[in-house]
Homo-oligomer: A and B are copies of this chain.
């Protein structure tokens, strides 16, 4: 590893840290199932005005942006997340949007701003977190922007490619479609709830359970493989990630598709750790599962008759999903409790003033 200065200026950081770390990106290729390719002609190592891809055939290109709330990132403030962790998180949060479109990620652009005093080692750690998250889902950090600010600011954009006609939009659910989710939700929210209430010293949960909770924030995972199974199956009618919480995800599929949903409480996948935190913190489990929680699961719809085909595709890939309800003509989004009563979906969705 190169010699670090205490806090190099931007041209020096680009030359000494960013460029060597991303050496050899040029020529990297991502290929779709129909053979269409995207090849990186100029990546982060090129330090040009932009990254450049050659795309060789008809395809769909998807792109989105997410900002990570630095100092408002409560678990970072509390010392549970390192600089590496927030870099990793930034990348995965952005890559999750690509996964939710059913696309293969081909690029991440990262914007990293920091106080002038931030040491080179800390800067490097943030970039390493971003790089490793990209590697984890087989993509590259191809550029972005670095420079000073009053405090750490992290933002990114991601781009992906998908076969023609296969992007997973939110607006295609039809009444009768099964509503499904790739895994349990509420874990990230449980971590915030737990660590917001208890000191790490107070050990209300065993260490390994605390580790499990915090790992939702330290090593989130964009479900690219699941997204690809959904898109290439050709049978999924709508999809989005649960980065604003499961309830928000379901509501947004409902609005975009002009349908409603009936969710079966008894069918919801529940992580044990969520139950443990709900009990410890005196919180209703289903509210915790449904509320604002950045778990990066995928929530989607598929016609009843196509469920067996999709189940087989997932099983063949060693993956799974859970059927948790169905789309309705009526536009309401409701919950059928285990006891048969029907009520509005509980949980506070994303950022609606509380």
Given A54-B58, A351-B11, decide whether A63 and B107 contact each other with a Cβ distance below 8 A.
Answer: yes
A315, CB-defined interface residue at 8 Å:
no
**In whole angstroms, what is the CA distance A66 to B110 when docked?**
10
Contact A64 B240, beta carbon cutoff 8 Å: no
Residues on the B chain within 8 Å of A85, using CB: none
CA distance A67 to B152 in the complex (A): 13
Q: Is the CB of A64 within 8 A of B153?
A: no
> Which of B51, B66, B167, B170 contacts A62 (CB under 8 A)?
B51
Counting CB contacts under 8 A, is A176 at the interface?
A: no
- Count of residues in A whose CB is under 8 Å from the partner chain: 73
Known: A11-B351, A145-B155, A155-B111. A64 touches B50 (CB 8 A): yes
Write the residues of chain A forming the contact surface with B, with a CB cutoff of 8 angstroms.
9-12, 38, 41-42, 46-67, 69, 71-72, 96-98, 100-101, 103, 107, 109-111, 113, 142-145, 147-151, 153, 155-160, 164, 167, 169-171, 240-241, 252, 256, 349-353
Cβ contacts A to B, 22 pairs, < 8 Å: A41-B60, A42-B167, A46-B256, A48-B101, A49-B64, A49-B240, A50-B101, A50-B160, A53-B61, A53-B62, A57-B57, A65-B109, A65-B144, A65-B157, A67-B111, A67-B145, A67-B147, A67-B149, A67-B153, A71-B150, A153-B153, A159-B159
